[in-house]
Structure 1
Amino acid sequence: MNRNIRDYYEGKKILVTGSAGSIGSQIVTELSRLDPEVIRILDNNETGLFEVEQKFGSRRIRPLVGDVRDRDRLRRAVEDVDIVFHAAALKHVPLCEYNPFEAVKTNVQGTQNMIEASLDEEVEKFILISTDKAVNPVNVMGATKLLAERLTTSANLYKGDRKTVFSVVRFGNVLNSRGSILQVLREQIKNGGPVTLTDEGMTRFVMSIENAVSLVLHAAYLAEGGEVFILKMPSLRIADLMEVVVEELAPHYGYRPEEIEVQVIDKRCGEKLFEELMTPDEAAMALETDEMYIIKPGTCSDSNINYNSMTTRKLKKKDIRCILKDIGYL
């Protein structure tokens, strides 16, 4: 990691919400290597917090049981903090469809609660973890994350003389995160199938947990206020991903690949056929670096960015296989 970034985090007091989740816990893992003064980990999952604390010991880790819906708890959690990484969210699309206002309470009201607590304490930087499902959303989860993004970037406009910088990191699909398609496929193959495919034409942008967290840490270092940071990432056909996983895992569980039936079912409630990294209006404000796109309000860009997972070049099966091996899935 860049020496400047290492120096930036050294001695910092940091709060990570949703720290018992896949992304939050990996943020804690990476931060623990950068010599911060303290990492406060906030989650409403008591067992998950306990496991994170046991992994790292108590020297730098301060576990805080709490919920982002609770304003009073957040005020105490943010006291004297330099950087907030806000990863707490309800993320499963069908569950949010059937429990819409619970998604609003956590993803929208919870984000505003974190923003207000961070403003009151004049936190140095506030980074929201978002998703490409916030772009042209068709489901509750995406809509709540879009509003969370707007709440975050708009906080820069009314903060007055307070020093807090508010920015957003927008992810694609994080491979092998908790509850992701790779974990579902493993269980289906272990049970002898069938594996379920919602649509043969479905595509997604994908990234590893490690790449996702690297983006988060770089974004906090670079943030000046109002940006949306997006990692450059490949796209793939879900059908190709599924074929690779069946070919590799079926023998591991005592089956021949051809014995695992592929069952095509309807799209899940709220599910999109493809994802987008940004809207056309955002693309007109997007700056391009070697590793990421940075949407910066007020910027005019002439970049020709292909931001649709349906029209971008897809990973071939051999490339998918290499990525799955690199992340330790195969």
Structure 2
Amino acid sequence: MSIFNPYLDVIKKAVDKDPRNHYIKLFSKQPESDFDTSYINELRNELPGLENLNESSRLVKGINAPAVESLPRLGNHPDFANLQNTNNTEKHWIISAFVDVKKSTQLYNNFALATVALITESIIKASILAVNLCGGYVHRIQGDGLMVYFGGKNIEKKQATKDALKAFAMISYFVKNDLKDYFDSQGIKEIYTRTGIDLGHDNQVLWMYSGLGDSGEVTTCSLHTSLAPKMQANASSNGIVTGQNIINQISSSDKYFKVKSKPIWDYEDGRFYNQYDFNWERYLVDNDFAKQNIKGDLILDIGNTVTPILNPTHLSPIAEINKPYYNF
């Protein structure tokens, strides 16, 4: 079973029971107040919690992976929690990332408000699972999107970079494949993610507490934190765009990254900072996080107990119509 199946199952149940969806198919629009959505609370209880994160962690990291008892509070990276409610600052590198689900507003035309809320919650929780499974920290929830940090004081930049790329590749896979296939069957088109990721080095990131009292958070002031959402806006459907600092942490980067025609930043001194499209599908396959089935479809292998069966007799016709991933 894929690690994302429990979230998709809840979404399917909500859509199947949605009164507005059934009513639109039979009649015309009906006032939202007429719909009984009391079943939503039961479905919310079916959304996986920490137990699903622990089960997935054991599949990925081995049976001796330590159990997660709780997750860090939003806006409170544990390595910089000492800055909470102080005027102190600290310089330290971090990877900032933004992911958002686009075109999700069309859900309001098809489903009751409670169903839309449950779908959004399911996507957010699935994304939080992927981020925490790969060692990231959710900094902020913005509607149906997330701001995330990867890195800290006890991890190397290269490893944190790999973890961030894996996490958002998984989220992109979930929305592009599992979620899209189901929404297509319901007549919901063109829902997709866009992601931006960038790395700021020690001299480029200032950690600080921003806000007043409980109305604040430990956050970063950095050009590269600010560039990540700009890269997100430049991503294609289900695409991931990264900055040059991310590229510099990956060996054989030419395999996975293609420079965009326009740089993301002009330093106004003759220098420019480039942005790159990330081929996350090839990255998943090359790193054994996903496989192709006999139809050429990409199957996420993290948490899957069933290995796609490849029959040699089918390889010839597949090769004729599909490009292999080494030339993806």
Larger Rg: 2
With normalisation by structure 1, the TM-score equals 0.29
With normalisation by structure 2, the TM-score equals 0.29
